[in-house]
Amino acid sequence: MDKQQTRKAFDAWESTTAEYVEKWMKSPLVLAPVGMLLTQAMRVKEAHGKLMTAWWSALGLSTRKDQERTLFALHKLESRLLDMEEKLEAKRNRG
């Protein structure tokens, strides 16, 4: 088989397969179980997050939320410091 024949064969296969998969993916027989699976996966992820937060807290370490709050506060302080440095530099240049 040459390249062109291979390409035509692939295109025919892909077209037929795409139609079949599209119909299959819209089927309630597929969507309902996949939806339930996704819901359960999200519940497991949420439970894991709560467990890890409790575990880190029990060890006396900061949780992810604590770290995010601290990082936000540091960025805010850094921004204010840069603003103050710019104002001070502007005053120095004027006087």
pLDDT at 69: 95
Which residue ranges make up each domain of the chain? 1-61, 62-95
| Residue-averaged pLDDT of the chain | 92
pLDDT at 40: 98
Residue 79 to residue 72: CA distance in whole angstroms: 11
Instruction: Quickly list DSSP for the chain.
Output: --HHHHHHHHHHHHHHHHHHHHHHHT-HHHHHHHHHHHHHHHHHHHHHHHHHHHHHHHTT---HHHHHHHHHHHHHHHHHHHHHHHHHHHHHHH-
Q: Output the tens digit of pLDDT for each of the chain's 95 residues.
A: 688 889 989 988 998 999 888 888 888 888 999 999 999 999 999 999 999 989 988 988 888 889 999 999 999 999 999 999 999 999 999 97
pTM: 0.52
Q: What is the pLDDT of residues 20-38, one digit of tens each?
A: 888 888 888 889 999 999 9
